[in-house]
Structure 1
């Protein structure tokens, strides 16, 4: 039931462009009920460690954090589009 081997195998297939094989591995995980744990990240700000994972909204300042992230994504998207001209 450990997802690590499945994820690594799927990633290896993906790295080599073997998309159907990667999908078969992911489908097998689903069929067997193997769940991948969400990855966690940590950041230290002013001697305080903040831990979070993707789509985590439990942080007391989550609303502000996501607002800033959306602004940054908009800026990055504008920059990418400027280079496409």
Structure 2
């Protein structure tokens, strides 16, 4: 199962959450960034519908797969002020 970590960080004069090297929008307060990260993590875990998807790989070849709506990653929030959650 995939694992996604949302990290709360200082960013651009405020706070943001980031996943890998991608930052969210900047929030004015730490709490706003934390609330947004929790909401994003919750959405990431929500089941969806099973459907066919198409994507192109690095070599330019197209693939079609069935994406199960129940195949959701585990999520975790990392924040220097709280213990990790969403394990």
TM-score normalised according to structure 1 size:
0.28
Structure with more strand by fraction: 2
Larger RCO (CA under 8 A, 6+ residues apart)? 2
Q: Pick the structure with more helix per residue.
A: 1
Q: Of the two, which has the highest radius of gyration?
A: 1
